[in-house]
Structure 1
Amino acid sequence: MSHESTLTKPQAMIFDMDGTLFQTETLLLPAYHKLFDTLRSEGLYTAPTPPEERILGSLGMLLDDIWKVVMPDGSQEAHNRANELLLELELEGLAGGDTLLYPEVKETLKALHEQGVKLYVASNGLEHYISGIVDTHELAELFDGLYSAGKHCTRTKVDLVKLLLEEQQVDSAWMVGDRSSDVEAGKKNGLHVIGCAYAGFGNHDELKGSDVLISSFTELLKLYEEAASHT
């Protein structure tokens, strides 16, 4: 891991959503259990609900790949129905108001925005899920763009971030995330990567290759303020 002094002030910051900005388990786990209750009631799945660790460990993957991990014994019909149910139940959960961002996320994003940093989301999630979180937690005015695999039909986060950089004409950015897919997306697009080590969904190797690891979201502001300006 390189030292913080090697960072230069970016034009933009690109954020993963789950496990980075949003405490996913506050929304996901209640929806997860309802989802399997519904699949069983509809006769699409007969086994007990798979362990929560499977879905939490799959965060950051594309949705189709998640179900292959969570219920490898499920039919394609069950996987397709799970896709529909998860979005429906998560949007209901967001409307219910019991979900959480990580501490100081909104305040830190606001401070970065006020300093002129362009802020983006790049997530492998569905479009309405990402926009639902942003709207529920009143973050819309802080972001310059929301990019999701669901909307842009990208197969990897590398491709999604590449598209974002091209469309938004961003020359320098930090990729901020908690999974290996975020590290890969940043590095393959020539970006500095800030690894978020506070969510705890992945294994210890998830953030290998990050330039800096942070243990709370507020550290991002300090990193930005101490980063060297472009010469």
Structure 2
Amino acid sequence: MIQSLIFDMDGTLFQTDKILELSLEDTFNHLRSQNQWDSVTPIGKYRDIMGIPLPKVWETLLPNHSVNEREQTDAYFLERLIENIQSGKGALYPNVKEVLSYLKEKNCSVYIASNGLSEYLKAIVSYYHLDLWVTETFSIQQINTLNKSDLVQSIIKKYGITNGAVVGDRLSDINAAKDNGLLSIGCNFDFAKEEELSQADLVINDLTELQSILHHSIK
């Protein structure tokens, strides 16, 4: 029986694409103003690697920049993301609040495990009042390895989870479930890739499908 659900944030609960392009364009405009970038904004490349921790993102997008320059870019990008969230330019996926409410009614504990930074996650949780349903939100910043499997393991240990599932759109979420003996539920949403979803135990196209999955797990 599924007693706990651990959700990814970006591309699973939060429609990151609604603020991603805006924030990334702002960031690379800033780099251009500093004479640190002279080409188009690599939005396509960022979409390809969505879901990995931000330090690795900047290693990929800015391979010729120094560590200090990447850190400064990361900080600026975070500022733009948070401002866009607080301005209401982002959005949750359809039915997020309804599904989380249903899970709470069924006494299923809910957690978030994300490769996003803590301040970014706090902005989303605060703006959309997700803490009404979510027990705790965990950022990859809280562990040293930048490995989502280790992050999920820390949640399991803290809350004594024995029967649960990880819900997410990328391979890191699927592996985090499998590495920790949990059910993996892949979300066929914006950033999902077919070859990654094929490794999940179950695949959903809408979060409301979780209600049926949970219903059958209780029987």
TM-score, normalising length: structure 2: 0.95
Match of 1:19? 11
AA matched with 2:208 = T
CA gap of 1:153–1:135, structure 2 versus 1, over 3 A, is farther
Secondary structure of the corresponding residue to residue 48 of structure 1 = coil
Cα distance in 1 between the residues matched to 2:135 and 2:96: 16
Map 1:19-38 to 2 at 5 A. 19-38=11-30
Two-structure CA RMSD over aligned residues (Å):
1.4
More deviation, 91-100/71-80: 71-80
Asked whether the equivalents of residues 126 and 151 of structure 1 are also in contact (C-alpha less than 8 Å), the reply is no
Higher helix share: 2
Partner of 2:198: 208
C-alpha separation between the residues in 2 aligned to 1:69 and 1:203? 19
Matched residue, 2:77: 86
Give unmatched runs, 5+ long, in structure 2. none
Identity of aligned residues (%): 34
Partner of 1:128: 119
1:37 CA displacement: 0.8
Q: Which amino acid aligns with 1:218?
A: T
Counterpart check, 1:227 vs 2:213: no
1:33, 1:49 within 8 Å by CA — same for their partners in 2?
no
* Runs of 4+ with >6 A deviation: none
Matched, 1:97 2:88: yes
Q: For residue 197 of structure 1, what is the aligned residue in structure 2?
A: 188
Unaligned 5+ segments in structure 1 are: 1-8
What's the offset of the Cα at 1:77?
Answer: 2.9
Say if 2:24 and 2:41, in contact at 8 Å, map to a contact too: no
SS of 1:205 mapped into structure 2: helix
Where 2:195 maps in the other structure, the secondary structure is coil
Give a deviation string over 1:136-172, Cα, whole Å, max 9, x none.
1111110111111123444200100001100111111
1:50 corresponds, among 34, 41, 47, to 41
Cα deviation per residue 1:168-188 (whole Å; 9 max; x = unaligned)?
Answer: 111111100000000110000
Contact 1:183 1:195 in 2 (8 A): yes
Q: Is the 8 A contact 2:140 2:146 kept in 1?
A: yes
Contact 1:29 / 1:52 at 8 angstroms: preserved in 2?
Answer: yes
Tell me if 1:117 matches 2:97.
no
For these two proteins, the number of residue pairs brought into alignment is: 219
